[in-house]
Structure 1
Amino acid sequence: MERRTFLRTAVIGSSAAAFGGTLWRGAAFAAPAQPAPGPYGALQPANANGILLPSGFTSRIVARSGQTVPGTSYTWHSAPDGGATFANGTGWIYVSNAEVSASSGGGASALRFNSAGTVVSASRILSGTNINCAGGSTPWNTWLSCEEVSRGFVYETDPWGVKAAVQRPAMGRFKHEAAAADADHGYVYLTEDESDGRFYRFRPTTWGNLSSGTLQVLVAGTATSGPVTWANVPDPDGSPTQTRYQVSGAKVFNGGEGCFYAAGTCWFTTKGDNRVWAYDANTSSLSLAYDDSLVTSGTAPLTGVDNVTRSGSGDLYVAEDGGNMEICLITPAGTIAPFLRISGQSGSEITGPAFSPDGRRLYFSSQRGTSGSSSGGITYEVTGPFRG
């Protein structure tokens, strides 16, 4: 495992060339991000919803845990967590996990919007599952909802709520966090929320069908950048030996959280060391997009890294679990700055950031809202001049 005290003194010096060289350019970013003014300017005072946003951006609440979603008869779930959007004719759908036990309503729900952005329906799309934390969308328009429990499952769900959810044991049984589909190379990447977690990829036997395939784990040394290899996980069922202990040399990641694939790169986060990683799928190499211990001046803006998404412009939006309750923006130029901050909700975390298909609206939740309880979750929409 990496020692962050070593990184502060050694990585910036002896390994700086690796971050600035061809490896990092392959991941389409400049270097581990450093604080700088954001592309949208400074945050303005908190609005009526308690959100600090750049000038020109507005927010609204679209759902509250335990309350009927306006315009529907559906009661929104507790502890909203990972989310994604799907095109739906002239409108779109936002799906959200419920990070609570089955007995408390675990699973996932969907909000459906018309072309004007009005919620026209909402419903449950997955029930009876436990601690569904994050997940990911697929190119064939399903939502992979991941159980964050020991030997948890991935469930493939239908955002329209027409088809029944399907358990996908071939994708491994472990403490799942997030998933990201890579149609360019035919894999689904998976993070594991353990302090000694691993980073996995699943190759379906047939792309688009997750019923069978091969689960692999990333293998590398202790370095934070360089080429990596993959090894098959002998027993994806994870019993009696848990998946993360089955392959010698599998790289340890401290608390895997969100992941998102685009443009040949899978970005994923680890909360235990406040890092955003970049796996370049074209060159099979690893590098760092952000590490709070590598911030060279001032205070690290991003801590408690969690869910991550990407805009059409290539900007990464990384949500905080705690920290200052911010979503921070990392640009391809290698700068990082807060994009928004939620005030008065220090007992919560920001979850589920996802852009509408046209890129004009950003959805996310405060999992425990102002109450600090899973029953107090709030799901928001931000609209504004996002760069395309």
Structure 2
Amino acid sequence: MSELPANAAASATRRQLLARTGATVAGIAFTGAVPELFAGTATAATHGSGGYGPLVPDPDGLLDLPAGFRYRVLSHEGEPMSSGQGAVPGSHDGMEAIRGRHGKLHLVRNHEIRPGDGKPPVPAVERLTYDPTAGGGCTQLTLDERGRLLDERVAIAGTAVNCAGGPTPWRTWLTCEETEGKAGVNGYTKDHGFIFEVDPDDPYRSGAVPLTAMGRFAHEAIAVDPRTGAVYETEDASKPFGLFYRFLPDKPLGGLGSLRGGGRLEAMRVPGVPDLSVIQEPGATFEHVAWVPVPDPLAQQTSVRLQDYGAKGITRSQKLEGCYWGGGAVYFVSSYAARAAGSAADHYGQVWKYEPHRHRLTLVVVFGPDTDIQLPGESPDNISLTPHGGLMVCEDGDGAQHVFGVTRRGAVYPVARNRLNIGTDEAPEYGEFAGATFSPNGRTMFVNIYTPGTTLAITGPWH
């Protein structure tokens, strides 16, 4: 999950940072070619102006949903896992539904455990633990054809600050460490900041092996080009802001373990654009995007984003987060940008599209304030395409927390609202959503509440 830049005041919220520019954040809106976001997905009819109707208050005070929808709690932090390996860890973050063998479905779930945060850690398991002093990692839930929970267990342990990641074409999960902590820092015995591969059918086959050639930095998410095997990676970092990368493996599309075989890590350079936040007009296009070799992917002495990329410099962006592949292009998200945090310009969220075969980058959509106070959304984080031709956005802002849907026509509608107040009556607070993902048959949306860590299955008249 994202965090405030290190050079921002600890008490500053995203809204406060943006408010310093004189803007008012009241709702969510889009400008730009919204249908671009759904490239390569099915087309579905919309319900009226979009959405499933107003949210109905949950009498149990957990999750408001539209009429006709219902939820089940699959897992909650602190409860014992059925595997007997320990308690369910906290800080539920990125997640993917991956089809398994014999009709089973695996939910591979990240846990963004930070040193000293007091959250239940991922239990250390022999042969699945990278660094026993780190509390992050992945767990996985296995469901049968009817959606019943069969098993819950550790998939990888001993990693740190596992934020997001992404699936591979060969049905594994790449989990990303959003940290640059080295051995000796925070009690770690090994360097962190890597990507690890998880095989949900048999986690012991993948083990706990860092994919070192893919770089050591504050990873956020990845997307794999299913034609070439190139892996695109976002970096959520500050002082200075992060970069957008691609990894060209020596064994592209080679299946489980092939990414251990090495490759070339490169960073994106957009000619004449040192900071993506200055681009504000949807449809703005840049040809001849260049990829510059990363001098030292392991960042042995200098952070990857601080290394020497030549006289032409490199392109940065604040809050690079979600990343996905669709329609022959990779899409990536800048959650927000604020001058008060050191960015060159302000925005409430951008979605960019890079077309590898054309070496072309386009600003597709810009998020912005609107007047509907019932939709207090900004700072898009996890973004996922649905089997029904829509988009789901996990809000990562302040105040009420929603999962929003977006239609091809750009209509924004609420899908779910977290009603569990973890603050006080005077100062309510709600855990953000993360990891929205659909079952392959499109009948169930799975999503996490970050705090307290909760995984839910939502069913209903999806269309």
Which TM-score band applies after superposition, normalised by the shorter structure?
0.7 to 0.9
Contact in 1 for aligned 2:38/2:390 (Cα 8 Å): no
Structure 2 counterpart of 1:166, from 185, 209, 227: 209
What corresponds to 2:148 in structure 1?
118
What corresponds to 1:33 in structure 2?
none
Contact in 1 for aligned 2:235/2:320 (Cα 8 Å): yes
| 2: CA distance, partners of 1:92 / 1:187 | 26
The 3 A distance-change label for structure 1 pair 296 and 367 is closer
What corresponds to 2:352 in structure 1?
278
Amino acid at match of 1:266: V
Structure 1 counterpart of 2:236, from 179, 183, 193: 193
Note if 1:353 corresponds to 2:436.
Answer: yes
Superposed, which structure 2 residues align to 1:174-253 within 5 Å?
Answer: 174-195=217-238, 196-207=241-252, 208=254, 209-211=258-260, 212-220=262-270, 221=273, 222-223=278-279, 225-227=284-286, 228-246=289-307, 247=309, 248-253=312-317
What corresponds to 2:401 in structure 1?
325
Contact in 1 for aligned 2:51/2:414 (Cα 8 Å): no
Q: As a proportion of its length, which structure holds more strand?
A: 1
1:104 Cα deviation from its structure 2 partner: 6.3
Contact in 2 for aligned 1:275/1:288 (Cα 8 Å): no
What corresponds to 1:152 in structure 2?
193
What corresponds to 2:458 in structure 1?
382
The 3 A distance-change label for structure 1 pair 48 and 285 is farther
Q: Secondary structure at the match of 1:292?
A: strand
Superposed, which structure 2 residues align to 1:294-333 within 5 Å?
Answer: 295=369, 298=372, 301-323=376-398, 324-333=400-409
Note if 1:364 corresponds to 2:447.
Answer: yes
Q: What is the identity percentage for the equivalent residue pairs of Structure 1 and Structure 2? A: 32
Superposed, which structure 2 residues align to 1:61-100 within 5 Å?
Answer: 61-69=73-81, 73=84, 75-88=87-100, 89-100=102-113
What corresponds to 1:11 in structure 2?
none
Q: Secondary structure at the match of 1:339?
A: strand
What is the TM-score with the length of structure 1 in the denominator? 0.83
Deviations 1:156-207 (A, max 9, x none): 1121223113210111110111111121342111111113111111111111
1:249 Cα deviation from its structure 2 partner: 3.4
| 1: CA distance, partners of 2:328 / 2:61 | 37
Q: Secondary structure at the match of 2:458?
A: strand
Q: Secondary structure at the match of 1:333?
A: coil
Amino acid at match of 2:193: G
Contact in 2 for aligned 1:301/1:337 (Cα 8 Å): no
1:49 Cα deviation from its structure 2 partner: 5.3
| 1: CA distance, partners of 2:66 / 2:432 | 20
Q: Which has the larger radius of gyration?
A: 2
1:218 Cα deviation from its structure 2 partner: 1.7
Amino acid at match of 1:306: D
Please, which runs of 5 or more residues in structure 1 have no aligned partner? 9-15, 30-35, 370-376
Amino acid at match of 1:149: T
Amino acid at match of 1:191: T
What is the TM-score with the length of structure 2 in the denominator? 0.71
What corresponds to 1:266 in structure 2?
330
| Count of residue pairs the alignment pairs up | 358
Amino acid at match of 2:321: E
| 1: CA distance, partners of 2:377 / 2:229 | 32
| 2: CA distance, partners of 1:330 / 1:287 | 20
Deviations 1:3-62 (A, max 9, x none): x899x9xxxxxxx8xx45xxx876657xxxxxx953322222235352111222111100
| 1: CA distance, partners of 2:415 / 2:35 | 24
1:132 Cα deviation from its structure 2 partner: 0.9
Contact in 2 for aligned 1:49/1:60 (Cα 8 Å): no
1:244 Cα deviation from its structure 2 partner: 1.6
Amino acid at match of 2:140: A
Q: What is the RMSD computed on CA atoms of the aligned residues? A: 2.8
1:331 Cα deviation from its structure 2 partner: 2.2
What corresponds to 2:184 in structure 1?
none
Q: Secondary structure at the match of 1:210?
A: helix
Amino acid at match of 1:241: T
Structure 1 counterpart of 2:419, from 329, 339, 343: 343
| 1: CA distance, partners of 2:446 / 2:396 | 16
What corresponds to 2:11 in structure 1?
none
1:304 Cα deviation from its structure 2 partner: 3.1
The 3 A distance-change label for structure 1 pair 291 and 183 is same
